[in-house]
Amino acid sequence: MDYSKKRWLILIASCFINLCIGSLYAWSVFSAPMAEYLSQINGVKITPAHLTVVFIVANSVGPITMISGGKINDTFGPKLVIFVGGLMFGGGMILSGFAKSVSSLILSYGVITGLGLGMVYGCTISTSIKFFPDKRGFVGGVTTALFGISSVIIPPIAAVITAKMGVISAFKIIGGAFTLIVCISAFFIEKCPDGFKPEGWEPPVQKKSGPKANMDWKEMLKTPKFYIMITLLTCGAFSGLMIIPLASPLARKLIGMSTAEATVAVSALALFNVMGRIWAGSISDKIGRINTLALACSLSMIGLGFLYISGNGDVTTFYIGLSIIGICFGSFMGVYPGFTADQFGSKNNSVNFGIMFSGFAVAGYFGPTIMVKIAKMSKVAFLIAIGFSIAGLAITFIYRVVNKNENSELSYEKM
C-alpha cells in the first residue's frame, strides 16, 4: 500500500476529527445561557463562574484516556480508539442537553466529553506525526490548529441555534452531528507501519541532541528532560487556559462589552490561537522547538501586559493582548507533539505525549481556578500569569543546559 500518498488522506481525516472535538473550547459561549437555564429550573442564582468547574474537569480528565487510549493506539491502531472516543465525546454533549443541575453537567460535559476528547485527540495527533517524520512541526501545527479553529466556527453556529431553539437543543444538535463525523472519519485512519519513511525521503544522520532510542513511558520518566519539558508546558499553557474559558465574561466585566461583542472576542482569541499553532509548528522546523517556545513565553508577557492595562471601553488594547495570548498558547499546542516525538522517539509517542499532556491538564485546572477564586476575575490574575511566563522562559534556558550536558555525555560514550 502506498502510504506516502494515503498519509495525506489520513491527515485530512484527522483534521476533520479535530475540528469537531475542538468545540470543547467554545465553552465560554455555552456557559452564560446554560447558567441562566439552570438558574431558572432550580430557582437559585447560577453564574458562568459557577460553571467554570465543568471546563476545568473536561480539561483535567483528558490525559487519562490519552494515555490509556494511546497504549491501544500504539499496539492495535487508532480506529477503535477514535470510534469509541467519538461516541463518548458526542454522547457527552448530547447528555449535556438533558442536564438539570451543575453536577449532572459536570458528569456529562466535564467527565464523559472530556474523556472522549482525550482518546480522540491523542490518536489523531500521534498518528499524523508518525506518518510525517519529515514534517513533524508542520503537521503538529496543522492538526492542532484544526482543533483550535473549532472555537472560531462553533460559537456563531451555537449562538444561532441557542437563540432560535435554546442552549439545550444546541448541545443535542451539535453533539449528534459531531458523533457522526468523528465516528465515520475514524474508518479513514490507519496505523502507521513501523519504520515508515515517505517516498523520496531519508531521515537525517542521527544528531547527538536527538533521542537515543524510541523510549517507552518508563524510560521517558527516568530522564530529567521530561520533567523540564512538562513543567515548561504547564507554565506556557497557563495564560491561555486561564483566559480561554473565561474570555466572554472577562470581556463583559473588564471592558464592558455586550454579549454579542464578547462572542466576537472569543472567536478572535480562537483565530489567533489557530494562527499560533500553524506558525509555531512550521517555524519550529526551522529555528528549533525550544527557541520557538522561548519566543512564545516572551511574547506572552507582552500580551498579558496589554490585558493588564486595558480598562472599561478600551477595546483595542484588550484585543491586542487577547490576540498575543492566543498566538502564544497556540504555539505551545502546535509545537509540543513534535517536540515530544523529537526527544523520546515517535514509536511510543501516543502514550508519551499523553503523559506529557498532563502538564496541560495542570495548567487547565490552576489557570481558571486562580482567575475565579484567587484573583476573583480581576487584573491581579494577569500579573500571576506573567510570573508563570517568566518561569517558562527561565525553564527554556535550563533545558538548554541539560540538553548540552546530555550531548556531552553521549559524545563521551562514543569515544
Distance from C-alpha of 242 to C-alpha of 382, rounded to nearest angstrom: 9
Distance from C-alpha of 213 to C-alpha of 93, rounded to nearest angstrom: 40
- Tell me the C-alpha to C-alpha distance, in Å, between residue 180 and each of 66, 118, 187, 341: 21, 18, 12, 31
Check: CB of residue 129 under 8 Å from CB of residue 140: yes
Question: 341: which residues sit within 8 A by CB, 6+ positions away?
Answer: 129, 136, 349, 352, 353
Concatenating the DSSP letter of every residue in 388-414 gives: HHHHHHHHHHHHHHHHHHHHHHHHHHH
State the pTM of this model: 0.77
Distance from C-alpha of 381 to C-alpha of 388, rounded to nearest angstrom: 11
- Tell me the C-alpha to C-alpha distance, in Å, between residue 43 and each of 37, 97, 98: 10, 19, 17
- Report mean pLDDT in 10-residue bins for the chain, 415 residues: 83 93 80 91 88 86 84 82 95 95 94 93 88 85 84 79 88 94 94 83 59 80 95 95 85 87 84 88 88 97 95 92 94 90 86 88 86 80 95 97 75 44
Tens-digit pLDDT profile for residues 277-289: 888 888 888 899 9
C-alpha cell at 363: 495548567
C-alpha cell at 259: 454579549
Concatenating the DSSP letter of every residue in 332-381 gives: HHHHHHHHHHHHH-STTHHHHHHHHTHHHHHHHHHHHHIIIIIS-SSTHH
Nearest to residue 108, comparing CAs of 20, 165, 22, 24? 24
Tens-digit pLDDT profile for residues 178-230: 999 999 999 999 988 887 888 877 776 655 444 456 898 899 999 999 999 99
Look at the alpha carbons of 292, 294, 299, 303 in this order and tell me if their dihedral is positive or negative: positive
Domains of the chain: 3-192+216-414 (1.20.1250.20)
Q: Tell the residue number behind the cell numbers 453533539, with chain if given.
A: 175
The helix (run of H) or strand (run of E) holding residue 192 is none
Cα angle, residue 160 at apex, residues 156 and 162 outer, rounded to 5°: 110
Helix (H, G, I), strand (E, B) or coil at 176: helix
Report pLDDT for 219.
Answer: 93
